[in-house]
Amino acid sequence: MAYFDLELEELQVYKPTRVEPNDFEAFWKTTLAETRAHPLDARFVPADFGLRAIETFDVTFNGYAGQPIKGWLLLPRERKGALPCVVEYIGYGGGRGFPTQWLVYASAGYAHLVMDTRGQGSAWLNGDTPDREEDGSNPQYPGFMTRGILNPNTYYYRRVLSDAVRAIETARNHPGIDATRIAVTGTSQGGGITLAMSALEPTVQIVMPDVPFLCHYRRATKLIDTPPYSEIVNFCKTHRDKTETVFRTLTYFDGLNFAT
């Protein structure tokens, strides 16, 4: 993610080779149609964390396959009318934690919805959303990068990105939020999800990815040998005959293709 092997001048003009599957747009159109076939059922339950200037809500909405996804919504107590909202996605391994860990945007006068990442939340911030693999899976290297990776339809990030779209729709369903002024942001994994939202939910007004990963997988896995990309490398070392299948699946989830 944060590694490079080119000089600054080379990085400034670098244009990566991009491989986009012929059915990329059709794949995501079908995926989101299937996801939206389930009711959103967004719920905002007041949660008192003793904050004088900020209201907090325990959020639940239906994401991929109608599965419940958790989150937090924070609103400044003093407000006039509907507010612009920042929807935030979390870095790898982290969960939604507690509202007291997400105070910046609400303190600045914005609504702030933080999406829990399914299955994650035990490496640093705690999470509350399980990952239900209803479509089946495959043997995987420890972590999330190779979960269901032998088929785009079963890959873990198909579910996560579908959840992320529904998180934006959830924000728009709250009466205290201006549905026409939505920004998305995130760091690392959250940055990669943010890039994907620029394509999957192009009606958002602002896209703010910070050091995104989930991008340029071929080069990333050659450049570094550290997690999370090393999960892909180690999987391919064990399943050498599946390497091309793995990287074909990843083309459907590459930030390069979403950002183009």
pLDDT of residue 45: 99
Q: Contact 86/110 with Cβ under 8 angstroms?
A: yes
Strand partners, 183: 86, 206
Angle between helices 24-36 and 156-172 (to 10 degrees): 60
- In whole angstroms, what is the distance from residue 238 CA to residue 234 CA? 6
Q: How many CB atoms sit inside 10 A of residue 18's CB?
A: 12
pLDDT of residue 134: 73
The CATH fold assigned to 20-134+152-215 is: Rossmann fold (3.40.50)
Virtual torsion, Cα 136, 150, 127, 255, nearest 10 deg: -140
Number of H helices, E strands in the chain: 9, 7
Residue 54, SS3 per DSSP: strand
Q: Contact 198/164 with Cβ under 8 angstroms?
A: no
Burial of 67 (0-12, 13-18, 19+ CB in 10 A): buried
pLDDT of residue 200: 98
User: Where exactly are the structural domains of the chain?
Assistant: 20-134+152-215
pLDDT of residue 136: 66
* Model pTM score: 0.95
- Given the structure tokens 């747009």, which residue do they identify? 25
**Token code pair at residue 241:** 């005959």
pLDDT of residue 70: 99
Angle between helices 243-250 and 229-238 (to 10 degrees): 150
The separation between CA 203 and the C-alpha centre of its own chain, rounded to angstroms, equals: 17
CA–CA–CA angle 138, 139, 142 (5° rounding): 125
Amino acid present at 252:
Y
Residues of the chain below pLDDT 70: 1-3, 136
> Phi/psi at 102 (nearest 5 deg)?
-135, 55
Residue 73, SS3 per DSSP: strand
Reported as type and span, the H/E element at residue 59 is: strand 54-62
- In whole angstroms, what is the distance from residue 134 CA to residue 162 CA? 14
